[in-house]
């Protein structure tokens, strides 16, 4: 299949805009017709005999695992470990029969992820993969391979594959929660019905694009940019920083905002923009106090939050980007949009090659 850019200037832009549609398509394969229950593709995985879930991936797929760790812990009460494939494969980690090893890969061909999977063969009780390419080596080597239904992704910087990976991983966490007796049918119904609201909320997030394009004029002049978040927003800060450095070549770091005082606060001055992902959730107050520490040292903050968060915390920030209000558990899918669009517009402003950034490959099939 030959992918076309359509009216978009770059594949990355097209793929960001496709996300509400492909996420909805993916969800239809994982949820029942009543939109109140996970069933279908997820039934291929049995979590009931599993004591420990080990998730391994590279790049953006690894950050999807980092988000999913919170979901499997909170929703399914499971013990979860995550690791980068290039580290995991050489660590010789001890594995047991009661472990499930889960690999996430858009291409299904990443050399380190495949090697990590092969290490687990015959050691972990079961091997599951979450992939975009079902004909891939990783899919074929797994006991069960689950498709993310994102369609062909051309832009080197992964976007729609990320939100579809999140959708499938959350569906699996819900399936694990119910089958392990950790999630009631009522809680499942509420969560699944809210997942169906995501395409609309992601479209609302995409509607902030003109404001993001203006903010990019400021960000494109920076040498370093810091992204902060807590809880589910911590991996989103990492993903925002990764996207930005991949395509705009600006040095960016993602940090758990509670770690700010253990190092990165030393970097803060008026020349380092600080982007804070902070929906109004249980950790919001803590994040605001971290943000105030930044502002007290002359740091210029771009606060990405919802209407309620903006009302409370707008004072003193340089800029506020208002996202739709979303169930905090589902916020990663919505906040992925500003993470991607900030990187995209900053790169476009700088005039870099967005779809083919220097030194990077879409699929890394060599070590
Ligand atoms: C490369 C790509 C990234 C991707 C990573 C993992 O670095 O540029 O966008 O996240 O590989 O790829 P995979 O196909 O395993 O998800």
Q: How confident is the model at residue 310 (pLDDT cuts 50, 70, 90)?
A: very high
Residue pLDDT, tens place only, 106-140 = 999 999 999 999 999 999 999 999 999 999 999 99
Ligand 1 pocket: which of 117, 136, 158 to mutate (most atoms <8 Å of CB)? 158
Q: Give per-residue pLDDT as tens, 313-356.
A: 999 999 999 999 999 999 999 999 999 999 999 999 999 888 88
Q: Is the pLDDT of residue 274 over 60?
A: yes
| 60: confidence class by pLDDT, cuts 50, 70, 90 | very high
- Would residue 123 show up in a list of annotated catalytic residues for this protein? no
What's residue 57's pLDDT? 98
First-to-last alpha carbon distance for the chain, in angstroms, is: 28
Whether pLDDT at 56 is above 70: yes
Q: Cα 130 vs. chain centroid, distance in angstroms?
A: 14
For residue 363, give the H/E element and its range.
none
> What percentage of the chain exceeds 90 in pLDDT?
89
Tokens read off for 49: 């005999």
Atom from ligand 1 closest to the CA of residue 59 = 10
**H/E run at residue 256:** strand 251-256
Neighbours of 247 (CB within 10 A): 28
Query: What pLDDT does residue 3 have?
Result: 74
**Of 40-44, 70-74, 96-100, minimum mean pLDDT range:** 40-44
What's the pLDDT band for 2 if we cut at 50, 70, 90?
Answer: low
What's the pLDDT score for residue 155? 85
Pocket test for ligand 1, best of 147, 364, 367 (most atoms within 8 A of CB): 364
State the residue for tokens 């999913």. Answer: 68
- For the stretch 185-235, pLDDT in tens is 999 999 999 999 999 999 999 999 999 999 999 999 999 999 999 999 999
Per-residue pLDDT averaged across 238-252, rounded?
Answer: 96
Calculate how far, in angstroms, residue 107's C-alpha sits from the geometric centre of ligand 1.
Answer: 7
Cα diameter, the chain: 56
The residue whose C-alpha atom lies closest to atom 5 belonging to ligand 1 is 59
CA of 246 to the centre of ligand 1 (A): 11
The atom number, within ligand 1, closest to the CA of 361 reads 8
Q: What is the pLDDT of residue 263?
A: 84
Asked if 188 and 37 count as a contact pair (C-beta separation under 8 A), the reply is: yes
Nearest CA to ligand 1 atom 2: 362
In this model, does residue 1 exceed pLDDT 70? no
251 — pLDDT class (breaks 50, 70, 90): very high
Rounded Cα gap, residues 239 and 161, in angstroms = 13
Q: State how far the Cα of 202 lies from the Cα of 324, in Å rounded to an integer.
A: 8
pLDDT of residue 43: 94
- CA of 130 relative to ligand 1 center, distance in Å: 13
Residue ranges in the chain assigned as alpha helix (H): 11-30, 59-76, 85-91, 111-120, 137-140, 160-179, 185-195, 198-206, 209-219, 233-248, 284-296, 307-313, 331-350
- With CA atoms as reference, report the closest residue to 168 among 26, 353, 347: 26
Q: What are phi and psi of 284, to 5 degrees?
A: -60, -50
CA neighbours within 13 Å on the CB side: how many for 169?
Answer: 36
Burial of 282 (0-12, 13-18, 19+ CB in 10 A): exposed
* 361: pLDDT strictly greater than 90: no
* Ligand 1 neighbours (beta carbon < 6 A): 58-61, 105-107, 110, 113, 156-158, 360, 362-364
| DSSP collapsed to 3 states, 66-132 | HHHHHHHHHHHCCEEEEEEHHHHHHHCCCCCCCEEEEEEECCCCCHHHHHHHHHHCCCCCEEEEEEC
| Pair 183, 76: CB distance under 8 Å | yes
**pLDDT confidence bin for 55, thresholds 50/70/90:** very high
Question: What is the average per-residue pLDDT within 59-76?
Answer: 98
Q: How far apart are CA 262 and CA 269, in angstroms?
A: 16
pLDDT score at 353: 84
Higher pLDDT, 248 or 367: 248
> Which one has a higher pLDDT value, 112 or 3?
112
């Amino acid at each position: 299949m030959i992918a076309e850019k359509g009216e978009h200037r770059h594949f990355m832009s097209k793929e960001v805009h496709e996300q509400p549609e492909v996420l909805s398509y993916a969800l239809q394969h994982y949820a029942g017709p009543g939109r109140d229950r996970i069933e279908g593709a997820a039934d291929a995985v049995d979590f009931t005999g599993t004591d420990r879930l080990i998730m391994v991936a590279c790049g953006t797929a690894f950050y999807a695992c980092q988000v999913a760790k919170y979901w499997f812990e909170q929703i399914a009460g499971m013990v979860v470990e995550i690791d980068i494939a290039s580290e995991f494969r050489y660590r010789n980690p001890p594995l047991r029969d009661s472990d499930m090893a889960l690999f996430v890969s858009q291409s299904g061909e990443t050399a380190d992820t495949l090697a990590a999977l092969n290490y687990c063969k015959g050691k972990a009780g079961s091997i599951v993969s979450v992939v975009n390419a079902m004909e891939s080596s990783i899919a074929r080597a797994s006991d069960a391979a689950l498709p993310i239904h994102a369609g062909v992704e051309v832009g080197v910087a992964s976007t729609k594959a990320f939100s579809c990976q999140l959708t499938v991983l959350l569906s699996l966490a819900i399936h694990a929660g119910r089958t392990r007796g950790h999630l009631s049918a009522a809680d499942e119904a509420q969560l699944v019905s809210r997942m169906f609201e995501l395409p609309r909320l992601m479209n609302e997030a995409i509607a902030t694009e003109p404001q993001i394009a203006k903010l990019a004029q400021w960000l494109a002049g920076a040498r370093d940019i810091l992204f902060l978040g807590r809880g589910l927003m911590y991996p989103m800060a990492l993903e925002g920083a990764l996207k930005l450095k991949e395509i705009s070549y600006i040095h960016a770091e993602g940090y758990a905002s509670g770690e700010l005082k253990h190092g990165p606060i030393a970097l803060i001055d008026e020349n380092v923009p600080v982007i804070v992902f902070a929906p109004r959730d249980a950790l919001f107050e803590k994040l605001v106090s971290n943000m105030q520490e930044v502002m007290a040292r002359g740091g210029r903050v771009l606060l990405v939050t919802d209407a309620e968060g903006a009302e409370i915390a707008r004072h003193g920030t340089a800029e506020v980007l208002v996202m739709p209000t979303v169930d905090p558990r589902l916020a990663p899918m919505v906040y992925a949009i500003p993470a991607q669009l900030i990187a995209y517009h900053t790169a476009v402003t700088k005039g870099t090659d967005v779809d083919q950034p220097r030194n990077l490959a879409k699929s890394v099939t060599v070590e």
